[in-house]
Structure 1
Amino acid sequence: MKKTALLNGILVLLLSCGKSDKIKDETQIQNQELLSQTEIDADLNKKEIKKLIFKNTDEIEDSTELDLPLLSKVATNLKIKYSAIKISETSSINYDDKTAFFVLTIVEHNKKAIKNDEEELGNYFQRKYLFVNRENGSVIAEEFDDNLGYYDNEAIRFSKSHILKDLVFLNGKTPAVAFYTEASASSRIVLYSEQKFTLVTLANKEIKKVLYEYPIRLTNGDSNGSGTFQIETLETGMSFSDEKTNGYFDLMITKNFSYEEAVEDDLENGVEEKSDLKTKREFEKLKFNGKEYAFNRDDRHRFLE
């Protein structure tokens, strides 16, 4: 009888232990499934980092976020007249939930300049970068860009600074505003225009130009004003590499050069009509040196002599 009771006790104990181990195993499995699901959810919630900035300049999409009520508050905080801002040459984008970025063009009507031949150059247009509070328009950081200041009668003019529709990310967490400005000659004979590309961030309440005035489109040439011309054009594409240097993705740039020459008929001088097109492709990688994406400006012509 005692042996039977002892055997029953051992059997109950073994069954109990087996059940306990089973519960423990099921709990571990449930915990692992929950952890796996959490990791999946975290991956789904991660913001996908877009590596392509633009395929070519014709496909760049501009920001349309210009907030005029906020701009009015900014003008008050800057202590300038709202009418002094050239709205058609001003653009903005939201940098984060609390901050916006503006590129202002401010007109100084009383600032005149005289060239050597005593021709009056007219009003002066200044370009200013601003990070501001989205709620009250208070200025967080500001900076004039002297390279983009111009008089309205100068030979070289600057366009509105076009901000790209989307922010770009220099790594997994650092946003940057991307914009470009075109410089061009007001001449039918001299064929010159250049689009200069800039990346800026906000760090410690300061504007950081991590890439400044990189030429993304450039045309050079000349024309007789009719149908005869020769022109060389540089078109670029820009994207981020998977590789990083000093914490920021390397910039990969595709450079497409083209040369076009066209001559119209000139029967009196025995010149026949002709057209010629040549192309060439090159690549460049820019690495962040801890301060900026440094580059050496290359003004060499690939086809023009």
Structure 2
Amino acid sequence: MKKTLLISSVLMFLLSCGKSEKIKNEIELQNQDLLSQTESSLKKPFKKLIFKKLEDFQDSEELNLDLLSKVASNLKIKYSAIKIGETSSINYDDKTAFFVLTTVEHNKKKVIKSADEDELGDYFQRKYLFVNREDGSIIAEEFDNNLGYYDNEAIRFSKSHILKDLVYLNETTPAVAFYTEASASSRIVLYSEQKFTLLTLNNNEINKVLYEYPISLTNGDSNGSGTFQIESLETGMSFGDQKTNGYYDLIITKNFSYEEAIESDPENGIEEHSNLQTKKEAEKLKFNGREYAFHRDDRHRFLE
């Protein structure tokens, strides 16, 4: 009887050990699966597409007004001098934020070359800033003189629209992406252009790795009514499979279109007419160690 009880106890012990080992193995498998899922969620896949068309461009909405007030104090400028509606921002990392800051200087004199005299007007300036997200201290700053303008000039510049997500030039290097529109305030001269820029922060210096690449362009003229001719360019931008000097090559797709419309004029025997033509091209930009260099191409594909 004792022998039977002893055997039963041994069997129960072995069974319990086997069951415990099975549970232990299942827990370890579950933990490994959770760890694998966590690691995969932390490793974001490299995103090749930057934008397919301009309409896909989603703006950053990270404008921190409290931080902007600290930035103004550190720059020793009046907060009231900042054009809030034309200022944009994005968080660059856990400690750093980036601003495209627009300020206005009232009653600034300018020289009119033709008349050789001074004129007063509001002057708008654009500055790029990397700042500490905690206290607003300035890490790096740079004026963009190409985007400065007087309020009564023919060509004006829009707010710089920052893409809501950082663009990675390789697996580890983030860049701020934004475009600014230049346009003519005229019903007769039809001109607008969106210029695209990529900026990085390297050793507390601003690097313009791509500067003012034309991603959208409209040229033409109109009679202010229903007759016009317009040539347009719309682009898409993505990264290729190859790297040059550590950064992926940029692939630019170009879509040109030409539209002509003539309104009817019965008195002169002119009938209503419209015409639309399209053409596609592509371009590859390689990083030369300092920037994605390119030659600006202002050739018309349709207009004479």
TM-score (norm 1): 0.86
User: Shift of residue 242 of structure 1?
Assistant: 2.0
Partner of 1:66, secondary structure, is: coil
1:58 counterpart SS class:
helix
Residue type matched to 2:168 in 1? F
Inter-CA distance 41–92: structure 2 relative to 1 (3 Å threshold): closer
| Aligned match of 2:245 | 246
- Give the Cα separation in 2 of the matches to 1:295 and 1:261: 30
Deviation at 1:268, TM superposition (A): 1.6
Following the alignment from structure 2 to structure 1, what is the Cα–Cα distance between the partners of residues 85 and 41?
40
Q: Is residue 133 of structure 2 the alignment partner of residue 134 of structure 1? A: yes
Distance apart, 1:265 and its partner CA: 0.7
**Distance in 2 (alpha carbons) for counterparts of 1:41 and 1:162:** 33
Does the C-alpha gap of structure 1 residues 252 and 226 become closer, same or farther in structure 2, counting only changes over 3 Å? same
Equivalent AA in structure 2 for residue 123 of structure 1: D
Q: Which amino acid aligns with 2:228?
A: F
Identify the range of structure 1 (36-45 vs 282-291) with the bigger mean alpha-carbon deviation: 36-45
2:124·2:149 contact (CA, 8 Å) conserved in 1? yes
* CA deviation after TM superposition for structure 1 residue 120, in Å: 3.6
Deviation at 1:67, TM superposition (A): 0.5
Helix, strand or coil for the counterpart of 1:88?
A: helix
- 1:97 and 2:94 aligned: yes
- Please give the residue correspondences for 1:30-41 in structure 2 after superposition, counting only pairs within 5 Å: none
Contact kept? 2:109, 2:118, Cα under 8 Å? no
Partners of 1:121 and 1:151 within 8 A in 2: no
| Equivalent position of 1:287 in the other structure | 286
Partner of 1:56: 53
| Structure 2 counterpart of 1:220 | 219
8 Å CA contact 1:121, 1:153 repeated in 2: no
Deviation at 1:196, TM superposition (A): 0.1
CA change 1:262–1:51 in 2 (3 A) is same
In the TM superposition, what whole-angstrom CA distance separates every residue of 1:188-209 from its partner, at most 9, and x where no partner exists? 1100000000000000000000
Helix, strand or coil at the partner of 2:134: coil
Aligned residue for 1:123, secondary structure, equals strand
More displaced stretch, 116-125 vs 284-293:
116-125
**Deviations, residues 137-183 of structure 1 (Å, cap 9, x unaligned):** 00000000000000000000000011011000000000000000000
Match of 2:160 in 1: 161
State the SS of the aligned residue for 2:301: coil
Q: Secondary structure at the match of 2:74?
A: helix
Is 1:111–1:122's contact at 8 Å kept on the other side of the alignment? yes
Q: How does 1:177-196 map to 2 (within 5 A)?
A: 177-196=176-195
RMSD of aligned Cα (Å): 2.0
TM-score (norm 2): 0.86
Number of the residue aligned with 1:112: 109
Q: Distance in 2 between matches of 1:159 and 1:248?
A: 30
Give 1:74's aligned residue: 71
Contact 1:159 1:181 in 2 (8 A): yes
Structure 1 residue 110, shift from structure 2 partner: 3.5
Residues 1:85 and 2:82 aligned together: yes
Aligned ranges for residues 254-293 of structure 1 at < 5 Å? 254-293=253-292
Query: Which ranges in structure 2 are unaligned for 5 or more consecutive residues?
Result: 1-28
Distance 1:51 1:175 in 2: 13
Q: Deviations over 1:208-257 (max 9, x none)?
A: 00000000000000001110000000000001112111000110111000
Q: Does 1:236 align with 2:221?
A: no
Runs of 5+ unmatched residues, structure 1: 1-32
TM-superposition CA deviations, 1:41-98 (whole Å, max 9, x none): 6444312221111110011101111000000000000000000001110000000000
Q: Equivalent residue of 2:80, what SS?
A: helix
Identical columns (%): 78
